[in-house]
Amino acid sequence: MRIESERIGADMVPDTAAASARTPRYEEIYRQLVGDIRDGRYPVGGKLPPELELCATFGASRHTVREAVRRLTEQGLIARRAGAGTLVLRRTKSRGFTQQISALPDLLAYVKSAQLEVLEARDIKAGAQEAGLLRCRRGQAWHRLVALKHLRGARKPVAYVLAYVHRNHPALRAVLDRRGVALHDFIEERIGERIVTVEQELSAKPIKGREAKALGVAPGYAGFVIARRYLAASGTVVLVTSTIFPFDRMRYSMSLKLA
């Protein structure tokens, strides 16, 4: 949102009500909570109030409060902990993207505020390196999408994204342009099968070539890679993604509940 500056004369009063109307309610709540955390009202190591209490405090719906809390999570300020509530992790925002995982829906969802800039979309035959990622034989046909992930307010892209769609599911080729639809809902709707397993691998590698240039880092810069394979109920791998982050633009947090 960009607000043009105005010269206020003797007979000109700023329309604060109109400005407020242009700011979503969840954004106002988010900013208030950021200030409260920064000022120590909710100290590091402490907890945010429960969702219903926040709803009452701000006179807002659960959906609105959840959106504000989700943004705090993205910024690395808070994290949900099973059985412990929502903990405050830090007083100031992280420079990169924080991904908080506590359940399968968290893993399957993309960050809502992220935007994907598609650089390439074409059919390929898997080479040796891609066959290892895709768990397929060399020469198998796939559709490959290449994109940059941007976060609102960030000067440089936060990640380089590769997405591989199985040749038998061309309806998934629009996976990077889902327009707010959750990833698992999008896949299941397009292929008519449930996603039952997500295999995830975390690794590190130097960022080189086209990836380094697109991310604005020097060749050999340290990178963090998340590879995911989405398996349908039939056992078929229908989608594979590989997301490459410069090490200083990513923070990964996971909460595991012991039985």
Name all domains of the chain by residue range, CATH numbers in brackets: 16-94 (1.10.10.10), 105-254 (3.40.1410.10)
- What's the sign of the alpha-carbon dihedral 119, 125, 208, 132? positive
Residue 6 has pLDDT above 50, yes or no: no
pLDDT at 52: 93
Residue 259 has pLDDT above 80, yes or no: no
User: 243 and 229 in contact (C-beta within 8 Å)?
Assistant: no
Element (H, E) at 223: strand 221-232
Rounded Cα–Cα distance for residues 220 and 208 (Å): 6
Report long-range pairs for 214-217 (Cβ below 8 Å, ≥24 apart). 214/119, 214/148, 214/157, 214/160, 215/148, 215/156, 215/157, 215/159, 215/160, 215/244, 215/246, 216/156, 216/157, 217/246
- Nearest Cα neighbor of 35 from 7, 83, 68 is 68
pLDDT at 185: 82
pLDDT at 11: 39
Q: What is the mean pLDDT of residues 54-72?
A: 91
Q: What is the pLDDT of residues 68-120, one digit of tens each?
A: 988 888 777 887 766 678 888 877 765 555 555 444 444 444 445 578 899 99
Q: What is the pLDDT of residues 208-224, one digit of tens each?
A: 999 999 999 999 999 99
pLDDT at 184: 78
Which residues, in sequence order, are CB contacts of 197 under 8 Å at separation 6+?
A: 230, 231
Tokens describing residue 98:
């924080």
DSSP 95: S
Rounded Cα–Cα distance for residues 181 and 198 (Å): 18
Q: Beta partners for 192?
A: none
pLDDT at 237: 93
Residue 15 has pLDDT above 70, yes or no: no
62, with CB counted inside 10 A (0-12, 13-18, 19+), is exposed
pLDDT band at 234 (very low <50, low <70, confident <90, very high): confident
pLDDT band at 254 (very low <50, low <70, confident <90, very high): low
CB atoms within 10 A of CB 75: 23
Question: What is the DSSP secondary-structure string of 122-170?
Answer: EEEE--HHHHHHHTS-TT-EEEEEEEEEEETT-SS-SEEEEEEEETT-G
Give the residue, 96 or 58, on which the prediction is more confident.
58
Three-state DSSP class for 102? coil
Q: State the chain's mean pLDDT as an integer.
A: 81
Give the residue, 15 or 189, on which the prediction is more confident.
189
Residue 38 has pLDDT above 70, yes or no: yes
Rounded Cα–Cα distance for residues 225 and 218 (Å): 17
Tell how strand 97-101 and strand 250-254 pair up.
parallel
pLDDT band at 152 (very low <50, low <70, confident <90, very high): confident
Greatest mean pLDDT range, 37-46, 78-87, 181-190, 239-248 = 239-248
pLDDT band at 49 (very low <50, low <70, confident <90, very high): very high
